């Protein structure tokens, strides 16, 4: 079809004109539809309660402006083999979006739609039109603003990549500073030095305009430094520079909970436990390719064994057997061993099961474990639905790990140890065997890999990590109940390693922070958190299929760069 169009120059301009027009209108309609949807489900009104810059912009307004901007970006995106659309498509998209939103606002005011969507109220109409429904002049201003924003989006899309890489992080940082201000303020309030800094950025009612500008400027400079530095030494990043992002992440993980107090530490503690589990599942799925939806069973094993060995309860083993009541430190290794045993038992029945079937089979196994724990038969030992209570906190030479802050550091040490193990495993003979197994089971066997042993080891190691997390979880909540170990937990772990980047260690931390930490920080949005969760999942999979922090061995890495490799051949290729 397109070849026919290219025959005549006149025909071509007409064709490109109409296709550009369609593209602009389409992007505008899409944007308006998203805005109407967010409004109809009530999310916009909720977001309006969260200021980004105090007294100026709320989150809802940022979202609406963002929609206009993105509509402008999408209008400029070239089709797969098409030419660059003309610049006017972007403001056209803004125009269409604004007109539709205005019409929608008027519809809300004119017709009572509240019986269908309770959120379709006059305040929403005012919100989405920025209060400009009434006068014609106001409406004109609204439309013009949308067109300017969309044009800005279009220009951004056309701007050189390097410029975008400066502006986008800076804008994101301002948004984070605004949206998570409660969280950040708690951290800043913790000591006097921070407190004086905080007063520059945050007023009593939120991020101040001057604070927002400062944050923007700082983020811009920070984003520019690595580019400038790299521009000067046009060499592949080596040594410190390669690990710098991971180092920053680590330092943040260490310092933030200390400064942020119990609530922040509690969130990070949860993130830490998921990181532990994520690293375990990463061995199973990221390396050996064994999809496991019953992963929570190992976590539960770790928790229950810890409870049985340490609890101050009639269900504790010490109260009716010869086994003495143990301290957390003695019980934890046993809990890990028990999880390993369950992991191996778990692996045996699914040894010959591959791919999709494996997902279903492990899902079944995980549920079996939960139902067994709930059952009457096991109730005398495991406490049934009532669970096991009164698990003491760990103590170390008089110090009690009583609060979330100290427990977080315990988790951090455990996660650090586990990360080292995972890192070594990936580079070991066994790690290579796992990868080979995932690639081609038959050939891997023909290379001399013992299929049974190799798969069971993957389950065993994965289970060990989860068991460790479960053990800490038990002392964190002081009790274990079957209802804590739902399928959703396995799914969460799976989602976070996929979002972070399958097979990538820093990816696990990032994924857990995004999928576990962010929803905690967005508590006020209630059930809508799962909407964010879903959007985050879809967006990362669309935009970054290899995850937020792709593994060294990701799908599209053409060359594996070893830090200590001789790399002569590679260097020659690059030069």
- 346, 294 contact by CB (below 8 A): yes
Question: Which of these ranges, 126-134, 317-325, 488-496, 549-557, lies near other proteins under the rule CB under 8 A?
Answer: 549-557
Q: Does the CA dihedral 213-215-218-222 come out positive or negative?
A: negative
Dist. CA 187–CA 300, nearest whole Å = 33
Question: Which of these ranges, 4-12, 261-269, 275-283, 554-562, lies near other proteins under the rule CB under 8 A?
Answer: 554-562
- Work out which of 231, 239, 526, 558 binds other proteins, going by CB under 8 A: 558
Query: If we measure between CA atoms, which residue out of 332, 374, 363 comes closest to residue 484?
Result: 374
Any idea which residue has 């939806």 for tokens?
Answer: 293
Residue 244 or 447: the one with the smaller Cβ distance to other proteins is: 447
Output the smallest distance, CB 232 to other proteins, in A. 26
Query: If we measure between CA atoms, which residue out of 472, 53, 468 comes closest to residue 268?
Result: 472
Output the smallest distance, CB 344 to other proteins, in A. 19
Residue 185 or 455: the one with the smaller Cβ distance to other proteins is: 455
- 503, 287 contact by CB (below 8 A): yes
237 forms part of the interface with other proteins (CB under 8 A): no
Dist. CA 115–CA 105, nearest whole Å = 17
Q: Does the CA dihedral 226-231-233-237 come out positive or negative?
A: positive
Distance of CA 180 to the CA centre of its chain: 16
Dist. CA 284–CA 497, nearest whole Å = 11
Output the smallest distance, CB 551 to other proteins, in A. 10
Output the smallest distance, CB 440 to other proteins, in A. 5
Output the smallest distance, CB 287 to other proteins, in A. 10
Residue 376 or 566: the one with the smaller Cβ distance to other proteins is: 566
Output the smallest distance, CB 330 to other proteins, in A. 37
562 forms part of the interface with other proteins (CB under 8 A): yes
Dist. CA 211–CA 214, nearest whole Å = 5
Dist. CA 402–CA 413, nearest whole Å = 16
575 forms part of the interface with other proteins (CB under 8 A): no
* Alpha-helical segments (H) within 316-354: 317-320, 328-347
- 547, 500 contact by CB (below 8 A): yes
351 forms part of the interface with other proteins (CB under 8 A): no
Output the smallest distance, CB 447 to other proteins, in A. 5
14 forms part of the interface with other proteins (CB under 8 A): no
Q: Contacts with other proteins: how many residues (CB under 8 A)?
A: 31
Residue 183 or 549: the one with the smaller Cβ distance to other proteins is: 549
- Work out which of 228, 399, 573, 575 binds other proteins, going by CB under 8 A: 573
One character per residue 411-450, x = contact with other proteins (rule: CB under 8 A):
------------------x--xx-xx-xxx-xxxxxxxxx
Output the smallest distance, CB 439 to other proteins, in A. 4
- 370, 488 contact by CB (below 8 A): no
Contact residues: other proteins, CB under 8 A: 429, 432-433, 435-436, 438-440, 442-451, 553, 555, 557-562, 565, 567, 569-570, 573
């Amino acid at each position: 079809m397109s070849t026919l169009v290219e025959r005549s120059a006149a025909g071509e301009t007409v064709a490109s004109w109409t296709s550009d027009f369609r593209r602009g209108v389409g992007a505008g309609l899409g944007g308006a539809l998203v805005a109407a949807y967010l409004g109809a489900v009530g999310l916009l009104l909720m977001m309006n309660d969260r200021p980004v810059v105090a007294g100026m912009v709320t989150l809802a307004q940022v979202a609406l402006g963002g929609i206009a901007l993105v509509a402008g970006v999408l209008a400029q995106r070239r089709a797969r083999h098409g030419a660059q659309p003309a610049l006017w498509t972007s403001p056209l998209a803004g125009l269409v979006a604004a007109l539709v939103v205005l019409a929608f606002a008027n519809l809300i005011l004119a017709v009572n739609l509240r019986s269908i969507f309770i959120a379709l109220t006059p305040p929403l109409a005012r919100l989405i039109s920025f209060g400009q429904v009434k006068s014609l002049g106001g409406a004109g201003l609204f439309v013009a603003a949308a067109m300017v924003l969309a044009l800005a989006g279009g220009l951004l899309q056309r701007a050189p990549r390097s410029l975008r890489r400066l502006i986008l992080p800076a804008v994101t940082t301002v948004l984070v500073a605004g949206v998570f201000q409660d969280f950040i303020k708690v951290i800043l309030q913790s000591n006097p030095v921070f407190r004086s800094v905080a007063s520059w950025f945050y007023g009593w009612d939120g991020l101040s305009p001057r604070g927002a500008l400062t944050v923007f400027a700082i983020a811009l400079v920070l984003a520019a430094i690595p580019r400038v530095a790299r521009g000067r030494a046009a060499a592949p990043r080596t040594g410190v520079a390669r690990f710098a992002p991971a180092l920053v992440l680590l330092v943040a993980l260490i310092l933030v909970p200390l400064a942020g107090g119990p609530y922040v530490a509690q969130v990070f503690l949860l993130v830490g436990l998921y990181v532990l589990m994520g690293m375990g599942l990463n061995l199973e799925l990221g390396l050996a390719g064994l999809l496991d939806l019953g992963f929570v069973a190992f976590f539960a094993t770790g928790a229950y064994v810890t409870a049985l060995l340490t609890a101050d309860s009639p269900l504790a083993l010490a109260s009716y057997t010869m086994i003495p009541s143990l301290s957390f430190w003695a019980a934890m290794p046993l809990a890990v061993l028990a999880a390993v045993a369950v992991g191996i038992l778990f692996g045996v029945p699914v040894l010959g099961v591959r791919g999709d079937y494996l997902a279903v089979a492990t899902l079944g196994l995980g549920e079996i474990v939960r139902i067994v724990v709930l059952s009457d038969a096991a109730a005398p030992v495991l406490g049934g639905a009532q669970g096991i209570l009164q698990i003491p906190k760990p103590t170390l030479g008089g110090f009690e790990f009583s609060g979330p802050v100290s427990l977080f550091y315990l988790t951090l040490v455990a996660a650090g140890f586990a990360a080292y193990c995972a890192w070594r495993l990936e580079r070991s003979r066994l790690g290579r065997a796992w990868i080979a197994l995932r690639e081609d089971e038959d050939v891997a066997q023909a290379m001399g890999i013992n299929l049974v042993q190799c798969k069971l080891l993957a389950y065993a190691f994965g289970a060990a990590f989860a068991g460790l997390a479960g053990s800490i979880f038990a002392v964190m909540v002081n009790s274990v109940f079957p209802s804590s170990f739902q399928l959703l937990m396995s799914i969460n772990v799976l989602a976070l390693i996929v979002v972070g980047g399958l097979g990538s260690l820093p990816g696990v931390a990032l994924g857990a922070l995004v999928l576990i930490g962010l929803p905690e920080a967005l508590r006020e949005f209630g059930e809508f958190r799962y909407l964010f969760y879903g959007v985050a999942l879809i967006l990362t999979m669309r935009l970054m299929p290899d995850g937020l922090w792709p593994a060294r061995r990701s799908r599209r890495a053409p060359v594996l760069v070893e830090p200590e490799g001789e790399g002569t051949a590679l260097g020659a290729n690059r030069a």
